[in-house]
Amino acid sequence: MAEKQHITIKGVKDGLIFLLDDTCDFSVLLDELQFKLEKSHQQLLTGPIVHVQVKLGTRQVNEEEKERIKAAIRNQGNLLVQSIDSEARLEPKAEDGNNLKVLTGIIRSGQTLEHDGNLLLMGDLNPGGSLLCTGDIFVLGALRGLAHAGCKGKEDSIIAASLLRPTQLRICEVISRPPDEWMTGDAMMEFAYLSEGVMKIDKLTQLHRLRKLPAVFRA
């Protein structure tokens, strides 16, 4: 069986992107990076100046580790590191008396996040990703996946987002119709709620008719 590759090098219009595995040990990553630059990819990485973007996935690195990555790439004389970026991890930021969980990051395809209480996601819910909460769901970003609020029977739960373009919404046991049948045209700052057992959608500015807005949504 071939040894797993932890680094993928892709050519783009502006240069190269180095995609680095975020699960292996940092030392393993560095060894493979040096091998690829000095041996297996040496011919590819010669010639005029090439700009490099390094993508670390969710791996968080300190300044020393970042400098070691830069140094390894700089040893290949024609490579110029433009950026070294990590994605935000989904980490709890705060809770209040209503058990509001605040997260930052991106829920990607295949990921499911469950929470007992209300949830505020400061990021995007991508297609194929799912949010399940016993309370409300607020997304300060694009909601393009599946969101299920009030999943244990709380019928007055809502689902709100800066950009509402879900594959499916559920509140309590009610499932939304296909989005093109019930959503408005611009999908900006909207929320879904139940009215007499039917899911409806309205502008977030009208949420005060149902309840007081959480502090995070107030001006």
Phi first, then psi, for residue 142 (nearest 5°) are -95, 125
Could you give the CA distance from residue 39 to residue 84 in angstroms, rounded to a whole number? 23
The whole-number pLDDT of residue 219 equals 43
The whole-number pLDDT of residue 2 equals 41
Contacts 24+ apart (CB under 8 A), 191-194: 191/158, 191/159, 191/160, 191/161, 191/164, 192/158, 192/159, 192/160, 192/164, 193/156, 193/157, 193/158, 193/159, 194/155, 194/156
Could you give the CA distance from residue 214 to residue 212 in angstroms, rounded to a whole number? 7
Phi first, then psi, for residue 212 (nearest 5°) are -75, 135
The whole-number pLDDT of residue 149 equals 96
pLDDT tens-digit profile, the chain (219 residues): 345 688 888 888 888 888 988 888 888 888 988 888 877 666 666 677 888 889 988 888 888 888 998 888 887 778 888 888 887 555 544 444 457 889 998 999 999 999 999 999 999 999 999 999 999 999 999 999 999 999 999 999 999 999 988 999 999 999 987 666 556 566 578 999 999 889 988 888 888 777 654 544 444
Could you give the CA distance from residue 151 to residue 26 in angstroms, rounded to a whole number? 40
Angle between helix axes 26-35 and 63-74 (nearest 10 degrees) is 10
Q: Encode 154-198 in three state secondary structure.
A: CCCCCEEEEEECCCEEEECCEECCCHHHHCCCCCEEEEEEEECCE
Chain centroid, CA 62 distance in Å: 22
Burial 92-121 (b: 16+ CB within 10 A, else e): eeeeeeeebbbbbbbbeeebebebeebbbb
* Residue 145 DSSP class: S
Could you give the CA distance from residue 7 to residue 19 in angstroms, rounded to a whole number? 6
Q: Which of 140, 151, 138, 152 is nearest to 211 (CA)?
A: 138
The whole-number pLDDT of residue 42 equals 61
The whole-number pLDDT of residue 129 equals 94
Could you give the CA distance from residue 137 to residue 155 in angstroms, rounded to a whole number? 13
Could you give the CA distance from residue 47 to residue 26 in angstroms, rounded to a whole number? 29
